[in-house]
Amino acid sequence: MRLLLVRHGEAVDPAEARTDGLRWLTSRGRGAVHRLAARLAERGVLPRRLWTSPLVRAVQTAEVLAGAAHAGGLEPEVRVASALAPDEGSSADLFELLLTEADEEPVALVGHEPSIRIFAGHLLRSAREPAFHTAEAWLLQLDATTQRAELLARLGTNR
């Protein structure tokens, strides 16, 4: 299964929103996510299914990716998973989300640093994965049986 692990785009400063969960994408962050979506389209890996953290900036990122997939002729579905919120889920919780999605690949998980990196490290069997930049996606080839993955590409606006 092809899997996209995505960190949300740049969000407004925490002082601008009432709570962390309500922080929205900046115009620069939204533009970076649109450019990321274009790069994914060029590689033919726009997601058919997206799971996103319930935090506003992640939902907005998933909506942009879904819009690009829709424009590419797909009918993507966006679902919210609390396991993708900061300090909410474990790698086991995230893997469980993927078990039902084998027929819908590529699947995208849109989340936050450091949890998305920690999940990548578990799948790649590496404790020293570099941090995800905002509006960055890692394309993995996941073997659901072994719960191991191979990193195929790191995609972002600065890569």
Residues across the chain? 159
Strands of 11-113 (E only): list them. Answer: 49-52, 77-80, 107-111
Domain boundaries defined on the chain = 2-156
Calpha distance 11→30 (Å, rounded): 9
Q: For position 57, what pLDDT does the model report?
A: 98
Cβ(140)–Cβ(3) below 8 Å = yes
Q: What CATH number labels 2-156?
A: 3.40.50.1240
Calpha distance 147→110 (Å, rounded): 19
Contacts of 109 (CB under 8 A, 6+ apart): 3, 4, 5, 6, 50, 51, 52, 81, 84, 94, 97, 98, 116, 119
Q: What are phi and psi of 67, to 5 degrees?
A: -60, -40
Q: How many CB atoms lie within 10 A of CB 130?
A: 9
Kindly report the pTM of this predicted structure: 0.94
Residuewise pLDDT in 10s, the chain (159 residues): 999 999 999 999 999 999 999 999 999 999 999 999 999 999 999 999 999 999 999 999 999 999 999 998 999 989 999 999 998 888 888 888 888 766 678 999 999 999 999 999 999 998 787 889 999 999 999 998 888 999 999 998 665
Sign of CA dihedral 70, 103, 134, 138: negative
The pairing of strands 2-7 and 107-111 is parallel
Q: For position 24, what pLDDT does the model report?
A: 98
